[in-house]
Structure 1
Amino acid sequence: MVSTSHSKASVKAHHPLYFRDYRYYALARLFVTLGQFSMMIVIGWQTYSTARLTMDTHSAAAQLGFIGLAQFIPVFLLSPFSGWLSDHYDRRRVIMFAVSIQFLSALILGYATAADTISLPVLFSTAVLLGIARCFSGPAFGSMVPRLVPRETMPGAVAFGSMIWQSAMIVGPALGGYVFAALDWGPYALAGTLFLVTLLAVWKIKPLPPLTSSEGARQSQRQILGQIWDGVRYVHSNRLVLGAITLDLMAVLLAGSTALLPIYARDVFHVGAQGLGEMAAAPGIGAALTALIFGMRPPQNNVGNKMLIAVGVFGGATIIFGLTAFMPDSINQQVAMAALFTCGVADMFSVFVRQTLIQIYTPDEMRGRVASFSLIAISASNELGEAESGFLAAAIGPVIAVVAGGVGAIITVILWARLFPEIGQARRFDAIVEPTDHSTSQEIKQ
């Protein structure tokens, strides 16, 4: 639902930044992501470096797996409830609660680093807090956009939001690495400041109450578990949404190499924390350039098949990155950066198509819950993928783990093309989404 004040304006201006509330949303998304990624790259480095003081490479790699697991468990347990919360309460307040937890995490890690008391238990504990924060902010941020812009602006808004996210992924890791090299507690002070600005920007967005009657809200509070189960049934019944979500889950779960970047930076390329930041920024650069292009000219035709191809390219680039460990020193870092850049391009293509299809093919009263299940899949592919990569690297070595993951992503594309033909049949971002039968009928104003 977009307010009627947007109705006439949207005819004249289709760019999402035309709308005041979307501008505050974009600012909040930029700063919270910038703070998050400037912290996470340092957390990964501190975890691996702290572990290497007393452990060998394989055992230290397993600690990276535990960090990913610590972030995933709260997302897996709480996301169905957080999605319900986003559908039944003001999404701004949900985000502000989550960002406050991130601010607290930055304070804890900043103090522990400055006092030279950083340890694996402290890192694992704050990873759990960050997982909780992401669990609540993800569905709220993800389901907010359709309330801020008209339907015709949605593809551009998704692309622009993705560009913001990926731009922060470029600057965040690189900035975190550079600041950490100069002042070890600096990235956490920076992240805390960014989280405070995020809170202010979200507070400036107009209230976003749920699109249900007061009686319907009271009924849903009496039947919270039933409402959550409605979201499960909707995702399961919509083959396109289910296929798009699980494709990303399986591909990135298998081919997620970013968790092992600290190993490549320290023990393969020997480039330190600053080099780690540059390596982590390479996928973001590719992704941001792709999102910038899509913001001006989003793909329009045969989008489902293009998403499948993009995931296959992602797997192939991951294989090349893994094999750089066997290349001569004169070219291995350059090839690795090119492969990571390609991973970012392919991942952004897939993410853009998936997010747009899910947003457009889901009614507003279900978007929070669908976004929560999408978040579980994303977190499973990212944080659980980090855990899988870390544990697999501990068992068979980091290089074989990366290459095997890329092969697994390509196999996933072949299987999903057959299991979910609805993905290939999704030709355009056009859909007429009817409200679910248990909700109040809503119509998008244009």
Structure 2
Amino acid sequence: MSKRSVRRLFAHRQFMRFWFSRLAGVSANQMLMVGVAWHMYDITSSAWDLGLVGLFQFVPALVLMLPAGHTADRFHRGRIFAACMGIQAVVALALIFATQFHFASRELILGISVLLGVARAFQMPAQQALTPQLVPQDMLQSALALSSSGMQVAIIGGPALGGMLYTTGATTVYVTCALLLLVSAMLALLVRYQHQQAHLAATWQTVLAGFTFVWHRKVLLGATSLDLFAVLLGGATALLPIYARDILHTGPIGLGVLRSAPAVGALMMSLAIMRWPLTRHVGRRLLAAVAIFGVATIVFGLSSHFGLSLVALAIAGAADSISVVTRSTLVQLETPNEMRGRVSAVNSMFIGASNQLGEFESGATAALFGAVGSVVIGGVGTVLIAAGWFRLFPALARRDRMGPTVAA
């Protein structure tokens, strides 16, 4: 992306306001995840319970995602995003009181995970569908790349800062999260765009329209389902507390660094894509990147050296960044504005399934085969998925360019 394009993006005040809102919100969310995961492992020392944290976030997100997409197509998307930040701020405040008055428990953390899942269900479609309304269409790919880079900075800084703050106590982490989430909510409320309220009856046809749209476009279906199964099998995030304490023998700071490593790789790849966009052989590069993600996951699973583990996670993050940017651009370019909330809900459902359900899968298989066995099996499965998608979705494998193939 040229310097002129960067200057044009920074001149769009509403986009930058929302960019900073997301930056604060994602940073706080990442810190919150580090605090909650370490807190749960301190209480129970159970891989199964770490997996349950992901499952309890996933179930409400799965149930509510399609209605949330319908909501994002009817109401002001900035206000929906602000409300979701407010809910997460309430969660952080609840954790502050629970920690200070010594009633934090396994059950409380699982209950809070449900509330986080509800907030995520409405947050994701709103934030994905809002960005295309804040910049001209010819700048959309650049805006998505800049958004991805900013979010990776938050994903890098959030866990690392969360790990450092946790050494002074869980309360410090939760107070910082609450403040950042409130700032994010206030910035989102200030976002202005030309909102045209859609008068959509809440019928099964309108609610499921996003799924129908994706189902009949095999390139989108292949790209989103590829991410679902690849991260579902290959994700090792839920097991990082086990690796940090029992395998790599580091503490909360080390956990924060481990959680940040994939984002470092993703940030570097996002910057590379901004400079050299993926304009040709998009489908094949996407499938190859997922295979690399699987191989890097296997290396991480087998590693007992902290430095090698960080490199493997960074490579996995870089490969995943290709998937994220490619999928996001394809979805937004091929979807008309009045459908973006519902289509983004389907995309978010796949993302949520791959992340939260993937955490549960990691915890469950770790309870059966151990942490190392769980990660290695998942990495092998990811490589097999990438190979299988070449045959199952030939339209995706043959996709050459990023631009839309259907009219808006």
Q: TM-score, normalised by structure 2?
A: 0.96
Change (3 A) 1:247 1:12: closer
Note the 1:102-251 alignment, pairs <5 A: 102-210=88-196, 212=198, 217=199, 220-221=200-201, 223-251=202-230
Q: How far does residue 294 in structure 1 lie from its aligned partner after superposition?
A: 2.0
Q: Are the aligned partners of 1:114 and 1:185 in contact in 2 as well (CA < 8 Å)? A: yes
What is the rounded CA distance, in whole Å, between the counterparts of 1:188 and 1:262 in structure 2?
18
Higher deviation after alignment, 203-212 or 291-300: 203-212
1:277 aligns with 2:250: no
Residue number among 361, 365, 368 corresponding to 1:395 in the alignment: 368
Q: How far does residue 211 in structure 1 lie from its aligned partner after superposition?
A: 6.4
- Counterpart for residue 14 of structure 2: 21
Change (3 A) 1:405 1:90: same
1:362 aligns with 2:348: no
- Counterpart for residue 57 of structure 1: none
What is the rounded CA distance, in whole Å, between the counterparts of 1:119 and 1:224 in structure 2?
40
Q: Which amino acid aligns with 1:138?
A: M
1:337 aligns with 2:310: yes
Tell me, what secondary structure is at the counterpart of 2:363? Answer: helix
Residue number among 390, 394, 402 corresponding to 1:421 in the alignment: 394
Q: Which amino acid aligns with 2:13?
A: R
Q: Are the aligned partners of 2:145 and 2:270 in contact in 1 as well (CA < 8 Å)? A: yes
Change (3 A) 1:288 1:225: same
- Counterpart for residue 33 of structure 2: 40
1:353 aligns with 2:326: yes
Q: Which amino acid aligns with 2:27?
A: L
Q: Which amino acid aligns with 1:416?
A: W
What is the rounded CA distance, in whole Å, between the counterparts of 2:197 and 2:405 in structure 1?
18
Q: How far does residue 207 in structure 1 lie from its aligned partner after superposition?
A: 4.2
Identity level (%): 37
Post-superposition Cα deviations, 1:354-394, rounded to whole Å, max 9, x if no partner, equal 11111111111111111111111101100000000001100
What is the rounded CA distance, in whole Å, between the counterparts of 1:383 and 1:394 in structure 2?
17
- Counterpart for residue 444 of structure 1: none
Q: How far does residue 208 in structure 1 lie from its aligned partner after superposition?
A: 4.6
Residue number among 233, 257, 272 corresponding to 1:293 in the alignment: 272
Residue number among 397, 402, 409 corresponding to 2:382 in the alignment: 409
Q: Are the aligned partners of 2:80 and 2:122 in contact in 1 as well (CA < 8 Å)? A: yes
What is the rounded CA distance, in whole Å, between the counterparts of 1:210 and 1:270 in structure 2?
54
Q: TM-score, normalised by structure 1?
A: 0.88
1:79 aligns with 2:65: yes
Post-superposition Cα deviations, 1:65-91, rounded to whole Å, max 9, x if no partner, equal 111100000110000000000011110
- Counterpart for residue 372 of structure 1: 345
Change (3 A) 1:346 1:50: same
Q: How far does residue 293 in structure 1 lie from its aligned partner after superposition?
A: 2.1
Q: How far does residue 15 in structure 1 lie from its aligned partner after superposition?
A: 4.0
Question: CA RMSD, aligned part only?
Answer: 1.5
What is the rounded CA distance, in whole Å, between the counterparts of 2:170 and 2:78 in structure 1?
33
What is the rounded CA distance, in whole Å, between the counterparts of 2:266 and 2:18 in structure 1?
20
What is the rounded CA distance, in whole Å, between the counterparts of 1:43 and 1:184 in structure 2?
9
Residue number among 290, 300, 307 corresponding to 1:321 in the alignment: 300
- Counterpart for residue 3 of structure 1: none
What is the rounded CA distance, in whole Å, between the counterparts of 1:70 and 1:183 in structure 2?
25
Q: How far does residue 93 in structure 1 lie from its aligned partner after superposition?
A: 1.6
Q: How far does residue 105 in structure 1 lie from its aligned partner after superposition?
A: 0.4
Q: Are the aligned partners of 1:92 and 1:208 in contact in 2 as well (CA < 8 Å)? A: no
Q: How far does residue 339 in structure 1 lie from its aligned partner after superposition?
A: 0.3
What is the rounded CA distance, in whole Å, between the counterparts of 2:169 and 2:55 in structure 1?
28
Q: Which amino acid aligns with 1:95?
A: F
Q: Which amino acid aligns with 1:321?
A: F
Q: Which amino acid aligns with 2:339?
A: M
Residue number among 36, 55, 60 corresponding to 1:69 in the alignment: 55
- Counterpart for residue 243 of structure 2: 264
Q: Are the aligned partners of 1:91 and 1:208 in contact in 2 as well (CA < 8 Å)? A: no
Q: Are the aligned partners of 1:90 and 1:207 in contact in 2 as well (CA < 8 Å)? A: no
1:302 aligns with 2:274: no
Q: Are the aligned partners of 1:92 and 1:140 in contact in 2 as well (CA < 8 Å)? A: yes
Structure showing greater radius of gyration is 1
What is the rounded CA distance, in whole Å, between the counterparts of 2:364 and 2:163 in structure 1?
25
Q: Are the aligned partners of 1:300 and 1:429 in contact in 2 as well (CA < 8 Å)? A: yes
What is the rounded CA distance, in whole Å, between the counterparts of 2:191 and 2:48 in structure 1?
42
What is the rounded CA distance, in whole Å, between the counterparts of 2:302 and 2:382 in structure 1?
16
1:386 aligns with 2:359: yes
How many residues are paired up? 405
Q: Can you give the 5+ residue segments of structure 1 that lack an aligned partner in the other structure?
A: 1-10, 53-59, 326-331, 436-446
Tell me, what secondary structure is at the counterpart of 2:208? Answer: helix
Q: Are the aligned partners of 1:114 and 1:184 in contact in 2 as well (CA < 8 Å)? A: no
1:93 aligns with 2:79: yes
